[in-house]
Amino acid sequence: MNLSELYADHVATLQGHTAALLERLGYAGMVIYSGTATGIFLDDHALPFYANPHFKHWLPLPRHQHGFLLIRPGKRPQLFYHSPVDFWHLSDGAPGGFWTDPFDIAEFADPVEVQSALGDTPGLAFVGEDAALAQRWGFTAINPEPLLHELNWLRGYKSGYELACLREASQLAVAGHRAAEQCFRDGGSEFDIHLAYLAASGQRENELPYGNIIAIDQHAAVLHYQHLDRRHPASPDAFLIDAGAEVRGYCADITRTYAARPGLFAELVAAMDEVQRRLVASASVGASFVELHQRTHQAVALLLQLFEIVDLAPESLVETGITRSFYPHGLGHLLGIQVHDVGGQVADPQGTPLPPPDEHPFLRLTRPLEAGMVLTVEPGLYFIDTLLAGLRHHPQAKAVNWERVEQLRPCGGIRIEDNLALHPDHTENLTRDAFANS
């Protein structure tokens, strides 16, 4: 199927699920509002705009402001498409391209036109950020939680169209990753690497699904390091890059870690790569992600012992919580329209919470793995000063080989992150496929 066929299929499936859902919840329809850019306090500029994710689920218009989509059971979806009269900005242009067929499209300049076209709103649910607008227009069901839970649940299962977008996003991100590694090896600063990434992946900064994490040496010990050092490192040891791409609103979220030269850190990176590949091989339909996360702690414990970082049996390293000082985050999360996609910690479409175990509060995915899901697998091992300081007061602090820790601390840490699409009979590694094809 080509893209427009895949997309028509995607919209038809969404329409079917949503119609059933609206009827069950007693709504005549649902209006999804894309939103509008937030202004900066006391300024006449606005922050970059990112559309309501539920709008993006239906439409490949991730930057379209003031769009209204009306969904009603048994009727074609109706899009109110904003075509303002504006000589300050370039408007989005007339609606066109592969995506328009499934919709009845009405262009408007002033939202008042949409308000009168919608008419009586009490039977309609409103899904969007602007609750004040919804109230003014007479909506009484504004972002109703039962509806949002159901919509979030649906987003956990990707259509063929969504997978096509995610594959493209991976390919773009990998082009950026290749250029970034080269720039690092050529002596580039974090800032240089960031620019090389943007150029090679064909994205401007606002188009990234999240701020690039471009971390040389100890900066890699900051999990979401947000700066870009302009200085050129004299003799760097290591480079961690966590950077993605967005295609038609769908995200890639990829991390790679590189050692500058052969040696202990390079061996640790290679060992972690092995661990990551084994975890990926186990991340298939029916698996428990909570169990996989716990298994990651056992694997990290083995590495800590093998690399003589802590002299304790792996079981004790996990039991005493020492592994959490080196690997403090979760193994991964659902991925799609949002990088940390919704619906990872619920047991059912009604939104019954499925929280992670107490000792793993940062695990974002607790649902059993099912066909159609797309998720990340991203184990890590870091030398984080604040956590190491805490470890010094641990009853087993003497078992830590602090000299070895000091030797590795300048390298910051390791994370290796792939994006997986789960099929009934196999797991597709979007990331490694993209690297293999680049």
Applying CB under 5 A, which residues contact Mn ion? 242, 253, 255, 376, 417
DSSP string, 184-227: HHTT--HHHHHHHHHHHHT--GGGSSS--EEEEGGGGGSTT---
Shortest distance, position 425 Cβ to ligand GLY, whole Å? 27
Cα distances from 126 to residues 37, 131, 135, in angstroms, run 18, 8, 10
Which is closer to ligand GLY, CB of 192 or CB of 253? 253
- Copy the structure tokens of residue 415: 């994370």
* Smallest gap from residue 253 Cβ to Mn ion (A): 4
| Number of residues binding to ligand GLY, judged by CB under 6 A | 6
Instruction: Decide: is 246 part of the binding site for ligand GLY (CB under 6 A).
Output: no
Sign of the torsion formed by the C-alpha atoms of 37, 57, 86 and 83: negative
Query: Residues 336-365: x/- map of binding to ligand GLY (CB under 6 A)?
Result: ---x--------------------------
Name which of 190 and 253 has its Cβ closer to ligand GLY.
253
The reply on whether position 253 binds ligand GLY by CB under 6 A is: yes
Binders in 196-215 for ligand GLY, by CB under 6 A: 210
Interaction of residue 417 with ligand GLY, rule CB under 6 A: yes
Cα 424 from Cα 426, distance rounded (Å): 6
Q: Going residue by residue from 290 to 329, which x/- string records binding to ligand GLY, judged by CB under 6 A?
A: ----------------------------------------
Q: How far is the CB of 417 from Mn ion (least distance, A)?
A: 5
For residue 124, report the phi and psi dihedrals to the nearest 5 degrees. Answer: -100, 145
Find the binder of ligand GLY among 162, 217, 242, 418 (CB under 6 A): 242
**Is residue 418 near ligand GLY by the rule CB under 6 A?**
no
Task: Provide the b/e sequence for 236-260 (b: ≥16 CB within 10 Å).
Answer: bbbbbbbbbbbbbbbbbbbbbbbbb
DSSP per-residue string spanning 11-37: HHHHHHHHHHHHHHHT-SEEEEE---P
CB of 39 to ligand GLY, least distance (A): 27
Side chain identity at 203, as an amino acid letter? Q
78 vs 255 by CB, closer to Mn ion: 255
Q: Which long-range contacts (CB under 8 A, 24 or more apart) does 256-264 make?
A: 256/177, 256/181, 256/416, 256/417, 257/220, 257/413, 257/414, 257/415, 257/416, 258/181, 258/184, 258/185, 259/411, 260/185, 260/235, 260/236, 261/237, 264/307, 264/407, 264/408
Select the binding partner of residue 210 from Mn ion, ligand GLY, none (C-beta < 5 to 8 A, by kind). ligand GLY
Q: Which residue of this chain has its Cβ atom nearest to ligand GLY in the complex?
A: 242
The span from the CA of 263 to the CA of 258, in Å, is 12
Name which of 400 and 414 has its Cβ closer to Mn ion: 414
Cβ neighbors of 218 (< 8 A, separation 6 or more) are 409, 410, 411, 412
For position 150 contacting ligand GLY by CB under 6 A, the verdict is: no
CB atoms within 10 A of CB 60: 18
Contact 244, 173 (CB under 8 A): yes
Quick one: 69 or 252, whose CB is closer to ligand GLY?
Answer: 252
CB of 108 to ligand GLY, least distance (A): 37
Per partner kind, with CB cut-offs from 5 to 8 A, the member of Mn ion, ligand GLY, none near residue 150 is none
Instruction: State the minimum distance, in angstroms, from the CB of residue 328 to ligand GLY.
Output: 13
Are 160 and 14 contacting, i.e. CB atoms less than 8 angstroms apart?
no
Q: Minimal distance in Å, beta carbon 432 to ligand GLY?
A: 16
Site string for ligand GLY, 362-381 (x = CB under 6 A): ----------------x---
Shortest spacing between CB 94 and ligand GLY, in angstroms? 36
Please report, as ranges, the residues that interact with ligand GLY according to CB under 6 A: 210, 242, 253, 339, 378, 417
